[in-house]
Chain A
């Protein structure tokens, strides 16, 4: 069981929504998804620690039913699943959200059953802990890269490809000018990546890291 894949953490939250609120909750997400209002969630982008995140509202009669042998669900509430892929620890993430975009959180979880408001933090943290489901397997294609590294890599690739044009004919002095301009433009993107520090003090986590570093499985 692992919520961690290198620098990425997987969070799964399941929260109930009453029958009378489901249409309002769906409407909020629909509005948030329209290009005209997408700026309203810019706080998420500013946090800059999320790879991908999603909200999925499953109506009380919408859990998949695929076989006549499967018992029918008979639920009082609808349920919202929130799945996030972020960098950093659980505490850093939950605190960042609570501090940076409390009104956005209150809107996205508007009147979910038991929702305590994003501030103060203690009841908010307790709600997240109570509603979190642990992942049984979590995979990230680039465990050593944060979301910002992926975005920086895209910029660097573009810069390097441009720098590599005309190498056979350019003079050393002109290349210097081009190189200096490129590195100046990319100065916020140039940095090296490495495995994340071991965040658990468990002996098993440290032994696992040592095995990886030694190239053993």
Chain B
């Protein structure tokens, strides 16, 4: 299935692409397309982004296709009849579970943005949201995973451990065997390497000051 990578060890990552037609209407002097763009630009960034609350999101973006791109003459000057809201997300796991998590964790933002799109008026809950998204989903032709397909909690714990273990290695050079073992026992008790819930990194955190959680 092209929405997933066909490469070995990366089949658990999913690439969802949707193109939602925006109504050719306006509110006062402002087009619905501009209202969608404004709603998206009002999203906060990093850990305050609504996408930070959606479980298992690696990376996601929203963009607006106002029209197709003209490659200059002698090529044909094509035009779209509607602008499209594009949402492209890379996540771990199953599509229905992901969309349910998305609707449950950011439905106010979803309705703020998607209210201007054709067909969205039928969306009232997670099930109707999933049905709508599947109607506007387009199949990925080729999905490349250059990272890995671990769950997000697993990736965030791994990054936390990378940071903490690197600090540990730098801080414990030239220690005696007894001192090293004692220091590592303290490290193990503090970082809990096998516990994904915490301590770990906070999804979306962009600063070392607030990245640790738990």
Contacts and interface: CB of A to CB of B under 8 A. Distances in A.
B146 A172 contact: no
Given A114-B75, A164-B188, A192-B167, A52 B41 contact: no
A54 B15 contact: yes
Contact of B78 (A75, A144, A145): A75
Contacts of B23: 69-70
A134 interface: yes
State the main secondary structure of chain A at its contact with B.
Answer: mixed
Contacts, number: 308
Contacts of B19: 58, 63-64
B108 interface: no
Q: Point out which of B2, B71, B135, B206 has the most chain A C-beta atoms below 10 A from its C-beta.
A: B206
B40 interface: yes
A5 B86 CA distance: 18
A140 interface: yes
A141 B59 contact: yes
B86 A12 contact: yes
Given A16-B78, A141-B155, A113 B71 contact: yes
Contact of B69 (A15, A64, A141, A151): A15
Given A16-B71, A147-B147, A63 B80 contact: yes
A176 B165 contact: no
Interface string B136-150: 111111111111101
A186 B204 CA distance: 26
A92 interface: no
A8 B59 contact: yes
Given A139-B60, A193-B162, A35 B21 contact: no
Contact of B210 (A25, A142, A160, A215): A215
B169 A183 contact: yes
A120 interface: no
Interface string B169-185: 11000001110110011
A207 interface: no
**7 nearest interchain CB pairs?**
A153-B158, A66-B119, A114-B71, A50-B146, A172-B177, A136-B40, A71-B81
Given A67-B119, A139-B45, A141-B156, 8 more contacts: A1-B41, A54-B141, A56-B138, A56-B141, A64-B19, A64-B20, A134-B63, A138-B62
